[in-house]
Homo-oligomer: A and B are copies of this chain.
Amino acid sequence: MPRTETATSAPTRRARDAARPGPPPTVLVRPGDEPTAATLLAAAVEVMAASGYHGTSVRDIATAAGTSPAVLYHHYRSKQGLLVMLCDRGLDVLIEATEAALDEAGPDDADKLRAIVGAHVRVHMESQRESLIGNSEIRALEAPGRDLIVAKRDAQQRFFDRVVRDGVRSGAFATPQPDDASRFITTACTGVAAWYRPGGATEADEIVARHQRIALDAVAHRP
């Protein structure tokens, strides 16, 4: 019984080449930029968001940054170290934005939820590629760095858990499952990074507002 497969596929071409839109070896950096660590990081974000960690080679990153692979190893210990730094900084941005939003919000529980949903969704649109990598490449992280990243991701989840639980305790939210609703909301808001397109039909502010509204509904907010 040979060839149970039905779907066709291009046999020899590699997935990375096929998945990347346009001419692949495009340099993503303006000619004046010197290839610093930051430029390499930005290039890595770009190509890894498109093809994934294992689907991106060190040469891909270097080409996108307009340099050679050897330069990457002058600034980073390894490809893995680059991924750790990338995820780490991305999560720092997310956590700081969430903390700032909570600080600015008033004592009202609904306002607090609106604040952290707004921050979370906005970061996932503005730092879309970093967020995408941080969410989908955790399994590509190795032992020491992985724990750091997972801990920070859990810390971000705890912001939501706390706000929802407080709201339930005060009576502002009527959901009988605070933790499940909290995860429900973070999962949906994190998913924005997977579908958002900057020039789309709906403005970023409107997307934020809609997610705030739906999140409040999801916790059964009684206004």
Contacts and interface: CB of A to CB of B under 8 A. Distances in A.
B214 A177 contact: yes
B81 A7 contact: yes
A183 interface: yes
Given A213-B176, A214-B218, A9 B74 contact: no
A33 to B, nearest CB: 15
Contacts of A136: 136
Given A175-B214, A184-B188, A142 B75 contact: no
A152 B14 CA distance: 24
Contacts of A88: 7
Contacts of A30: none
Contact of A78 (B9, B75, B82, B175): B9
Closest 10 A/B residue pairs (Cβ)? A54-B54, A187-B191, A54-B55, A18-B142, A218-B218, A4-B37, A7-B84, A184-B188, A9-B80, A188-B188
